[in-house]
Amino acid sequence: MINEASNSAYPTDPAMLSKGLTKREYMAAIALAATNSQSTVQERAEEATALADALLKALHSR
């Protein structure tokens, strides 16, 4: 799962494959909007990361 989660979200050029956000980072950024704004920054980051990891796991378990 780690290797797949670290692939670039939007690779467009083979020379750029190591640039940009990973799928995990992209999903966590989107999930951040769904976290409780009253929580601490650390709690929100951990929740967003957990949501991203759960989504990646669900997508790759099919």
pLDDT profile of the chain (62 residues), mean per 10: 59 68 90 94 96 93 80
In this predicted model, what pLDDT tens digit does every residue of 10-26 receive, in sequence order?
A: 666 677 666 778 889 99
Exposed (0-12), middle (13-18) or buried (19+): which is 28, by Cβ within 10 Å?
buried
H helices of 7-40, in order, are 23-32
- Calpha distance 60→39 (Å, rounded): 30
The pLDDT value given to residue 44: 96
pTM of the model: 0.68
Instruction: Express as a percent the part of the chain with pLDDT over 70.
Output: 73
3-state secondary structure of 40: coil
3-state secondary structure of 52: helix
* CA dist 53 → 15, 29, 47 (Å): 27, 12, 10
